Amino acid sequence: ELRAEFVDTRSISMKLKLESTIKNKVVGLELKPSENPPQVIRVTSKQMN
């Protein structure tokens, strides 16, 4: 029973993450896909002794 619930929940979660689902939910917010790819931010820190 728990396994069936897990599978159902995972299926719903995967559907909610689809790009088409997200586009439909934010249609009124005037959002659009980014034209530039994301940039990697690297932080280098020195450990204090």
pLDDT the model gives residue 41? 92
Give the model confidence (pLDDT) of 3-46 as tens digits.
999 999 999 998 888 888 888 888 888 888 889 998 999 988 87
The pTM (predicted TM-score) of the whole model is 0.45
pLDDT over 90 at 48, yes or no: no
DSSP 8-state class, residue 6: H
User: What residue segments make up the domains of the chain, in order of their start?
Assistant: 1-25
Cβ proximity of 14 and 20 under 8 Å = no
d(CA 19, CA 31): 13
